[in-house]
Structure formats: C-alpha cells, structure tokens
C-alpha cells in the first residue's frame, strides 16, 4: 500500500449527456439480442470479473487507501474478499438458481403443473455509495449479471480513485453494450434517472433515496433502495459485557464508523452501564493504541463536509472518551458520548462516523419501546445470554436484519438476504436473493390436453354445489 494518502483526489469527469443516450440505446439493443439469456455467457462474464478482481487486488487497495486511508485488512475483508466470495458463490450455484421452480398445483386445474421461470429485467442502473465503493457497486452488479441483465454503473464521485479503477477495469474488459461505468457528479446521476431503465438499485441515504424513487415512478421502474438509519445495539445486564464491548467496538469503528449497518448507538441496562463503558474504552485502546491517529488500522473521514458534520456532534460536555480531531487529515478519534438524550445532535440522524453515544434503559420493555418509536433501523444487535430475552427481541423489535451477540456479521453470510424496512430501504440481496432480485419470475401453468373437465364451463346448472364439495375436500 502507499504510505501516504491523497486526501483530496480530483473529481471524476462527467460524460456528455448525448453519449449517455447512445449508451442506453446500445445496451437495450444488445439485451434485445438475447445474448445475455445464455447461461454460459453469464458464467463466462462472471469468471472474467472474478479474475479481474483477483489480478488487481493491489491496485484496488491502493485506490481505497488514497481515497480515505482504508486499512489493508479492512479492504480485503469488506471489499475485495467479499466480492470474490460473492462471485464464487454465484458461479457455484447459478445453474440451480436459473432453473424453473415447480410449485404445488391446484386440484381445480387438474391435469396441470405450474412453475416460475426466472428471466432478466433488461437494463439495470446501479448507483453506488462512497463508504464501500467497490463492494456496494459490484455486489449488486453480480446479481444483475447472474440474472442475465445489462447494466450501467454509477460509482460515487467522492471516492474518485476507486471509481476510476472500477471504470478502467470494466471499460477494458467488457463490451459497453453489456456493462458500462459512467463517472460524474450528481448532475450525471440526475440525468440518468430521467431515462427509462428496467430496474434501479440504489445504495445511499434516505434523502437521496426519495429522489431516486420519485424518478423511478415516472417510468414505473421497479427498484431496490438500500438505505440506513440509526441501528441500535442493546446490551442487557446478563450479557458477557467484555465480549459485547469488543464486538460493538469492532462493528462501530470499522471503516471509521462509515458503515450503513454499524451500531449507531448503544442502549445498555443502567445497572451495568459504567462497567460496560469501561470495557468499551479498554477495547478501543487495545484495537487502535493510545493514539489512534497513528494507527495503521483506522480509516479517515471521506471528505470535508462529512468531517464538519461529525465534528459538530462532538459537544464537549458529552465526550466520555476520545474526541480528538485533525481537520487537515480528516481524522476523528474513536469517541464515546455519555449523558446523551434523544434531543442531542448525535441522536437526530444516522451518525455514519466514529462517534458512539451510550444511553441507558431500565427494562427490556423500555428498550424495545425506544427502538420501535424511531424509524425502522437497517440493523439491530442484541447482547444477552438469556434465550427468552433473545426471543422477545426477535418477536417485538422491528428492524431489517441483525445479530444476537454480535455486530454486522449477518451481512457476510451470502445465504441471508440483506435489506431494510421502510425508512431503511426495501428489497433484499446477496447470494440467491441477488439473483431473484434482478429476475422477473414468470408464473406459468402447463395444462394437459388429454382431459377437459366441464366443471368451469356454462351452462353451470348444479356446478356450484359440486365446487363447494370439492372445496371441503381440499
């Protein structure tokens, strides 16, 4: 990796809007040729992408370090390695996923059989965020490719170096009539959203998600929104407090807290709060040293605007641990906030940075009520050794997904569909769920011709009584 970060990379150049129109037309013509319907074609393209990622691990890592000093280890487990595993999983199971899926038939349709047939939507538009600029662009792309779609990718302009690498790899190795990367700013995204796509996949904030959804509505385009929210970690008095603190510190400060499923705040039972906070402080020091600013394992804030936003949350009277900042390096230390209420600035919106408010609660009922009174979070993390309490959380708290006695690890399992609810988004992906997301599943009944029961045909006579008798049987 490079030893010094380029913290102010130049913005990616915008493409001429007239070229975008031609590109969309070219992709639609290619899709209409049905070349992508061929399963061998899909596998060949996925294998090509896997090979490219493997061959360019160092280049990708350098770009991520230049963008916001992403540590080498975090780059692999959350970006490169994650994408490689997703590709391998898809290639391993794609033949099975693409088969028609039989369903039980109704007695009224005898003799018949029914099945669903997955087919690609067509032209997919994927809008990526900056916090995991490789993974959160390529992971949905893998699903789109596996399902047989063409795709236009719009990576974030905030991670200009990583976006440039993605663009170069795609442009040099794939026909733009099949896959294309469009770099540029918000104006480029807005222009593309005015065009008709067959599916849109957006990862980002709820504020921008609303704009994407409005644009999709103009063309009745189906879409997935992967958003965020204030994801809580709830710690009970019977939890393993040291283990809970270690796993929450890891989940919170990974990527300097710039993770959509990071624990946004902690609700800890009041009688163990002081002991728990002590464990939080110990684990931050164990992970990043006495001065995290010189740790090679702690990332930086993505840009000046986000640095200012986060810095404004650091009210002096509430800093329990950390709080050091360096504007020139866009550094904010891993920070614990204490004596915080829901009126504090840090509790008004998703933090998306290395600042962790710790609040207390009396009973589990109170904690659940607090969580459910807010917008539905993308994730929830519950720490307790009591099975009944675990079941209570699963039954009564509303959230997109999460973990019991861990943080963020549910995101890694390709067999667990990942997605939000309401304010935190809708639509789920990863593994087979990604293939299904980017496929339209045609429902088809195959009716036999060797028998044609007259029950449904006029004149009906006494048919109704017979139908009611059949309903009793089925």
The mean pLDDT of the chain is: 94
Residue 195 tokens read as 């065009």
The predicted-structure confidence for 358-388, as pLDDT tens digits, reads as follows 999 999 999 999 999 999 999 999 999 999 9
**What pLDDT sits at residue 11?**
43
Return the SS3 of 320: strand
The predicted-structure confidence for 232-290, as pLDDT tens digits, reads as follows 999 999 999 999 999 999 999 999 999 999 999 999 999 999 999 999 999 999 999 99
Strand 150-154 and strand 325-326: the pairing is unpaired
Identify the active-site residue in 66, 183, 260, 350: 260
- Cis amide linkage into residue 439, ω under 30° from 0: no
**What pLDDT sits at residue 461?**
87
Quick one: which of 309, 122, 298 has its CA closest to 205?
309
Mean pLDDT for 161-170 is 96
Is residue 260 part of the annotated active site? The answer reads yes
CATH fold group of domain 17-227+427-441: Aldehyde Dehydrogenase; Chain A, domain 1 (3.40.605)
Angstrom distance (rounded) from CA 343 to CA 446: 60
The predicted-structure confidence for 26-73, as pLDDT tens digits, reads as follows 999 999 999 999 999 999 999 999 999 999 999 999 999 999 999 999
Instruction: Indicate the length of the chain as a whole number.
Output: 474
Is residue 66 part of the annotated active site? The answer reads no
- The model's pTM is 0.93
The predicted-structure confidence for 103-113, as pLDDT tens digits, reads as follows 998 888 889 99
Domain ranges of the chain: 17-227+427-441, 232-412
The predicted-structure confidence for 295-319, as pLDDT tens digits, reads as follows 999 999 999 999 999 999 999 999 9
Identify the active-site residue in 86, 226, 350, 403: 226
Angstrom distance (rounded) from CA 450 to CA 95: 33
CATH architecture for the domain at 232-412: 3-Layer(aba) Sandwich (3.40)
Residue 225 tokens read as 């929104």
Q: Is the pLDDT of residue 9 over 60?
A: no
């Amino acid at each position: 990796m490079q030893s010094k970060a380029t913290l102010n990379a130049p913005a990616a150049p915008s493409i001429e809007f007239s070229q975008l129109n031609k590109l969309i037309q070219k992709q639609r013509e290619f899709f209409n040729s049905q070349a992508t319907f061929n399963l061998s074609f899909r596998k060949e393209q996925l294998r090509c992408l896997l090979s490219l990622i493997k061959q360019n691990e160092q280049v990708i890592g350098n770009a991520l370090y230049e963008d916001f000093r992403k540590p080498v280890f975090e780059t692999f487990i959350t970006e490169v390695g994650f994408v490689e595993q997703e590709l391998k999983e898809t290639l391993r199971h794609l033949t099975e996923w693409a088969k028609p899926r039989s369903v039980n038939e109704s007695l009224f349709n005898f003799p018949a059989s029914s099945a669903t047939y997955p087919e690609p939507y067509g032209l997919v538009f994927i809008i990526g965020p900056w916090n995991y600029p490789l993974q959160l662009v390529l992971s949905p792309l893998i699903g789109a490719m596996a399902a047989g779609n063409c795709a236009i990718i719009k990576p974030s302009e905030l991670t200009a170096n990583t976006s440039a690498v993605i663009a170069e790899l795609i442009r040099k190795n794939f026909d733009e009539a099949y896959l294309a990367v469009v770099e540029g700013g918000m104006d480029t995204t807005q222009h593309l959203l005015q065009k008709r796509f067959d599916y849109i996949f957006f990862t980002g904030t709820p504020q921008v998600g609303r704009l994407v959804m409005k644009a999709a509505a103009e063309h009745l385009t189906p879409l997935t929104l992967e958003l965020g929210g204030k994801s809580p970690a709830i710690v009970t008095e019977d939890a393993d407090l040291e283990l809970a603190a270690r796993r929450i510190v890891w989940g919170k400060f990974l990527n300097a807290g710039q993770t959509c499923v990071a624990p946004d705040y902690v609700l800890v039972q009041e009688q163990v709060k002081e002991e728990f906070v002590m464990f939080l402080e110990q684990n931050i020091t164990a992970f990043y040293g006495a001065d995290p600013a010189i740790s090679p394992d702690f990332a930086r804030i993505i840009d000046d605007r986000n640095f200012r936003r986060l810095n404004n949350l650091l009210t002096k009277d509430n800093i329990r641990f950390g709080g050091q900042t360096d504007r020139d390096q866009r550094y904010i230390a891993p920070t614990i906030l204490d004596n915080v209420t829901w009126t504090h600035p840090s509790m008004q919106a998703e933090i998306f940075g290395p600042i962790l408010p710790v609040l207390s609660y009396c009973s589990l009922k109170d904690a659940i009520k607090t969580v459910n009174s807010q917008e539905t979070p993308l994730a929830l993390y519950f720490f307790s050794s009591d099975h009944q309490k675990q079941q209570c959380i699963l039954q009564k708290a509303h959230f997109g997904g999460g973990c019991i006695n861990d943080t963020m690890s549910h995101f890694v399992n390709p067999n667990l569909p990942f997605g939000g609810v309401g304010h935190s988004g809708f639509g789920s992906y990863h593994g087979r769920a990604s293939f299904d997301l980017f496929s339209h599943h045609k429902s088809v009944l195959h009716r036999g011709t060797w028998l044609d029961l007259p029950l449904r045909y006029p004149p009906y006579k006494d048919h109704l009584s017979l139908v009611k008798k059949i309903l009793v049987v089925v």
